[in-house]
Structure 1
Amino acid sequence: MRLVCVLDANDLEETARFWCGALGFVREETRRHPSYLALLDPGGRWPDLLLQKVPEPSRGKNRMHLDMVVPDLEAEAERVVRLGARRVRPTFEEAGDLIAVLADPEGNEFCLVQQLEGAREA
């Protein structure tokens, strides 16, 4: 079995630009279908992110979202905002983690997480 994360998008190109920049992924240049675009971790460590073109805009909170565990939340938040993300709510602390909720240019929410206690792996 192999896990692939699928993210709905209206604009595959803009969404791919954002997530490739945010995650350091690369586009799979061999398109199998015009409604899909795969983004791949060049190191093969993380699941692929498959972008699926949909006609409707994002509405409200995602039922599932990506968490990016980072060493410096504020530096990473500034970086992804420069790529086109927007902050959804102020940074808060929960269960020993510092968390920021952001949204990509299409409105898909994701979290940046900085672990405050210990050096546990995600």
Structure 2
Amino acid sequence: MELAMVLDCADPERLAAFWAGALGYRRTGGDPPYVGLADPAGRRPDLLLQRVPEPRSGKNRMHLDLRVDALQPHLDRLLADGARRLRGPFDDRGWLTAVLADPEGNEFCLIVPPR
């Protein structure tokens, strides 16, 4: 069994550029309505962006956590690439956390684990 993540979106091309940069992934192609992204080292799950007709509504039922060793440089880079800060940074039981949204409003967290 292999895990792959699928993110519904309005514009997979636009989000492919954002998420490839955010994750350090490469584009693997895809036929409409899909655009695939993969970890070049093959260690992390693929991300498939799927065009859907309906707009996003409400809070995500599932979101991505991006664990990093230092918050500020990654936060600055993601904000410059089109992310939006929703909350934080704040201490979440020892985990330094910032809640962000991608260019279409899909929420994700940028997290520094406790040392």
Moved over 2 A (4+): none
Structure 1-normalised TM-score? 0.90
CA distance in 2, matches of 1:114, 1:58: 28
Kept after mapping to 2: 8 A contact 1:57/1:106: no
Structure 1's unaligned 5+ residue stretches are 118-122
Structure 2-normalised TM-score? 0.95
Residues 15-47 of structure 1, C-alpha deviations (whole Å, 9 max, x = no match)? 000000100101112x2x311111000000100
> Counterparts in 2 of 1:1-122, with a 5 A limit?
1-29=1-29, 31=30, 33-117=31-115
Question: 3-state DSSP class of the match of 2:8?
Answer: strand
User: What is the deviation of 1:104?
Assistant: 0.2
* Root-mean-square deviation over aligned CA pairs: 1.0
Kept after mapping to 2: 8 A contact 1:85/1:102: yes
Identity %: 56
